[in-house]
Structure 1
Amino acid sequence: MTPLPEDLPRMIGEDDRNAAVRRLQDAYTKGSISHEELDEGLHQVLNAEAHSELVSVLASLPEEHPGATSTIAAAGGRIRRRGVWRVPRVLKVESAFGRVRLDLSRAIIEHPVVDLELQLGTGRAKITVPRDAIVDVEDLHTGWKDTLYKTRRRSRPGGPKIRISGTMGFGRLKIRHAWR
């Protein structure tokens, strides 16, 4: 039986591979892993073909410094991130008015768990997550409209976990998985 396109593992690009190498090198420089662990990790990263293989190597590393937090804020207007961009361990998105669009489908996600904290007043928000991501919206509080999100029927292990928390006032959050 031929696998469906959604069953195929998410392939990695050079940016993903380079980010994983940097993370291993940083862990070695800080003394968190031994020389042997660095060699083994580099071998696995350089030979990895699927994103899940990178996640398994990086998951064995010590948790990064909790200071890896970034904030995107706008009083009005649009907040938009798409294409290839590096997703921090914790991303805070604050907007009083306007639309928010975050596309994580081609983003470089180096962490097995990413926390998105939303503080939105009015306006819509749309988040596109990688196809193999696991999404948790239990800590998100909506004031006016419910969140639009359907859990994937078939999810593969190894994808990043995206935890979405915070508060939305008068707007709707739509979350969808990328097609590729």
Structure 2
Amino acid sequence: MSPLPDDPSRRIGEEERDAAVERLQQAYARGQFAHEEMDELLQRALTAKTHGELAEALASLPEEKPDASTIGALSGRIRRRGAWRVPRILKVESAFGRVRLDLSRAVIEHPVVDIELQLGTGRAKITVPRDAVVDIEGLRTVWKDSLYKPRRPARPGGPKIRITGTMGFGRVKIRHARR
């Protein structure tokens, strides 16, 4: 779950509630609290309406360290395809060269995946799963606009892929897998 915002009275969404429940279940599986306490914390998380209420339900848990990984290259190609494991946060850094990320057959264990691009020149092509929801609001391009056509209608249950960062001179192309 991402850090809580400054406004604890802001309402939460299903995505945040689901992440909180998953975090509680993982803590229980590690033996961090008893069954009775698990029931109480789950009830509080499931009935929480604001970030403040959700934070209270999670207050007894240790600080969560996000699953993050960085792929970097000064020049050349960065390529991931096939059945690779996608971390919760993926940082891709390249000064010169091409980036090709194919998530269509990747193992995605998180409901939300953040991909942060820091690219100088070159091209980036990202293929997401067919049922993924893509958010590119945080992606800044200097030279050319990014190419992305959302799938209509989006099927529920797919991961949310948030693509952020900066693309210098080049283009980012994002497409949904055909199968």
Same fold by TM-score greater than 0.5: yes
Is 1:148 aligned with 2:135? no
Q: Which residue of 2 aligns with 1:123?
A: 122
Counterpart amino acid of 1:30?
Answer: R
Q: Which has the higher strand share?
A: 2
Deviation at 1:33, TM superposition (A): 8.1
Between the aligned partners of 1:35 and 1:145, the Cα distance in structure 2 is: 54
Q: Which residue of 1 aligns with 2:88?
A: 89
RMSD: 2.5
Between the aligned partners of 1:81 and 1:35, the Cα distance in structure 2 is: 41
Q: Deviations over 1:86-138 (max 9, x none)?
A: 10000000000000000000000000000000000000000000000000000
Between the aligned partners of 2:32 and 2:133, the Cα distance in structure 1 is: 28
**Structure 1 length-normalised TM:** 0.67
Q: Which residue of 2 aligns with 1:159?
A: 158
Percent identical residues: 77
Between the aligned partners of 1:24 and 1:127, the Cα distance in structure 2 is: 32
Q: Which residue of 1 aligns with 2:51?
A: none
SS in structure 2 opposite 1:117?
strand
Counterpart amino acid of 2:83?
Answer: V
Give the number of aligned pairs: 133
Q: Which residue of 2 aligns with 1:30?
A: 30
Counterpart amino acid of 1:147?
Answer: S
Deviation at 1:154, TM superposition (A): 1.1
Deviation at 1:65, TM superposition (A): 3.0
Deviation at 1:25, TM superposition (A): 8.6
Deviation at 1:150, TM superposition (A): 0.2
Structure with the bigger RCO (C-alpha within 8 Å, sep 6+) is: 1
Q: Which residue of 2 aligns with 1:102?
A: 101
Q: Which residue of 1 aligns with 2:136?
A: 137
Deviation at 1:32, TM superposition (A): 6.3
SS in structure 2 opposite 1:65?
coil
Between the aligned partners of 1:142 and 1:24, the Cα distance in structure 2 is: 38
SS in structure 2 opposite 1:120?
strand
Q: 1:24 to 1:77 in 2, by over 3 A?
A: farther
**Structure 2 length-normalised TM:** 0.68
After the TM superposition, which residues 13-92 of structure 1 pair with which residues of structure 2 at under 5 Å, given as runs? 27-31=27-31, 65-92=64-91
Q: Which residue of 1 aligns with 2:174?
A: 175
Deviation at 1:27, TM superposition (A): 4.3
Deviation at 1:66, TM superposition (A): 3.0
Q: Which residue of 2 aligns with 1:57?
A: none
Counterpart amino acid of 1:113?
Answer: V
